[in-house]
């Protein structure tokens, strides 16, 4: 087992460079320490919700500063980030959910209706603040060859729609 994972790489960079402006979004700079802390606290919430190392977590959110925080939290908990573009239909999302068998779906309120129609019994989190207030979770150790992300693409179907 190794203590390396994507969350560890982010923390190593933060330790090496210090607290720095790392993300410009919606007219505001976000600092590395702030984003890492939010991710560490959210990872505790994910574990409290039952997410375990190796579990897949579908993330369906529009672009925001929280996307990186969520990815960090999932990696920190040793789970597998399964990003889904927020523009997919409920039918497309349902196929992904059935195939990926996620333990949890994290979605923004913008896509809540689509996610609810496709969740297939999988728990859904739409309000991150409800789950990000606990003590930070230490990074879960994972093997170097463990899956970190499971990415689905639209493939030919998207090309036909364009």
Domain that holds residue 130: 6-161
Does residue 148 lie in a domain region? Answer: yes
pLDDT tens for the 162 residues of the chain, in order? 345 678 888 888 889 999 999 999 999 999 999 999 999 999 999 999 999 999 999 999 999 999 999 999 999 999 999 999 999 999 999 999 999 999 999 999 999 999 999 999 999 999 998 888 888 888 998 888 899 999 998 654 544 444
Does residue 81 lie in a domain region? Answer: yes
Does residue 85 lie in a domain region? Answer: yes
Residue 134 near residue 128, CB atoms below 8 Å: no
Number of folded domains in the chain?
A: 1
Strand 104-107 with 21-25, pairing: unpaired
**Which pLDDT value is given to residue 133?**
81
Does residue 1 lie in a domain region? Answer: no
Does residue 42 lie in a domain region? Answer: yes
We report the CATH number of the domain holding residue 36 as 3.40.50.12780
Indicate the Cα dihedral angle 152, 63, 11, 148, nearest 10°.
-10
3-state helix, strand, coil in the chain (%, to 5): 45, 15, 40
Does residue 131 lie in a domain region? Answer: yes
Does residue 22 lie in a domain region? Answer: yes
């Amino acid at each position: 087992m190794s203590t390396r994972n994507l969350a560890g790489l982010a923390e190593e960079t933060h330790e090496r460079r210090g607290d720095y402006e790392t993300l410009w979004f919606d007219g505001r700079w976000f600092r590395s320490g702030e984003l890492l802390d939010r991710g560490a606290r959210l990872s505790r919430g994910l574990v409290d919700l039952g997410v375990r190392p190796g579990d897949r977590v579908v993330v369906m959110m529009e672009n925001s500063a929280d996307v990186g925080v969520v990815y960090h939290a999932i990696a920190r908990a040793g789970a597998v980030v399964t990003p889904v573009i927020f523009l997919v239909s409920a039918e497309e999302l349902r196929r992904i959910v059935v195939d990926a068998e996620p333990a949890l779906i994290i979605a923004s309120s913008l896509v809540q209706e689509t996610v609810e129609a496709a969740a297939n019994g999988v728990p859904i989190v739409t309000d991150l603040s409800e789950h990000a207030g606990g003590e930070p979770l230490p990074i879960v150790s994972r093997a170097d060859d463990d899956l970190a992300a499971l990415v689905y693409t639209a493939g030919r179907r998207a090309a036909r729609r364009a």
